[in-house]
Chain A
Amino acid sequence: MSNIAHKIGPLAKCVLQNSRLNLWSTLTQYRFYPRPTSFPDYFQNPIFRKEDQAKLIENNELARIAAVPVKPPASYETSSVYHDPLVSKLINHVMKMGNKKLARNLVEKSFENIKRIQIERYHLASTPEEKAKIILDPKDILYKAIENSKPLLQLLPIKRGGITYQVPGPITDKRSLFLAIKWLLEATNDKERTVHFPEQFAWELLDAANNTGKVVKRKQDLHRQCEANRAYAHYRWQ
């Protein structure tokens, strides 16, 4: 009996954080070293998150890895509870000319804006049911927004008989995540000069999390075009 409870326990957790876990597998980013590096090939990537370390201990792989030399973690690779791979990815996308401090500030400021907007909504809501529906955590909003704006298909230009066909096909997780972030940022930058980035980005994220707005429409337009070109799908080869 206890065995079943042991199995169900992590499962229930999985269901709760399913969307986050799905993304984490595609988000494992490691510090990029341009070749040639000072580290030989057998140096392993650091495992810095406590959850990953716990998994290693559970699988009895820690002893094997402990003997292998490991690269040092980058400054953003931390075991802090505030570390979030998606947020750090987003900051890198927002960053221009290596100005990470500004990028981080912008993202944090837009999180603050989201929080303010959602708290205002929370206090304006009259019934407890309405209040329960409002997501107050900006990171949850971000995850939801990205999940809603990730495309399922892509159009690939394939040349057949001198004509380039736009052929619909499946998209990898990594590319769809990239497109989602790119579209969100493009939608944000398409704004009046007087509106600041954090303000607009907060609105875009809230819209996408609500499954409305420019980015979701863009995704649906892509899906529409894929549907219109479905006759060409046979041209695809892998």
Chain B
Amino acid sequence: MIPSLLVSLKVLAADIPLLFFLGTSIGWILAKKNFRGKNLVYDLIILPIALPPSVVGLYLLMALGRIPYLKEANILFSFTAAVIAPLFPALPIMIQAAKSGFSSVDEKLEAAARTLGDSEFEVFRRVTFPLAKPYIIGGLALSSMRALGEFGVTLMIAGNIPGRTQTLPLFIYSSVESMSFFEANIAAILLTALGIASLLIVKRAGGKA
């Protein structure tokens, strides 16, 4: 179980910063910028939530195995694949939360900051981000738990290789398959505790996600 826990923690360590930066920047663009095809972009971003993970996984498997440049990168069934896989279901949650957060910031506050001499970046740093923070913390807690619990997409593109791509949810699956219920239960308790902890973070952030 320990190797799987380590894989899960390493995946999380890589995914949390990715969720944060990609989620806040895409969420900000969707909340504050208007461009052609914005609704379509938004729908495509949200789509992985609506699709079964095995379907998303299959598409990724085809893309990573067949598109020339991606194929040469040898991502399939590597640790990198285990990092990428959870982003598909988790990132939309983060983007959605960041978008709600940034949309909730009154444009007049941003306009006031501009008239007081702030550049666009300063407006973001001093007004928009601090006011959207409860949503972002909430979104980060929920989306990183979604990433930690990811099963289907990971199985499809990263496989279930102990010590390399086997995360805790995959470990539970393998343990149950081999009738090792004790170990499966320990891993399940661990994941349950982490899930509750993340909900508490969401609650403390004001229930905004």
Decide if A and B are genuine partners: no
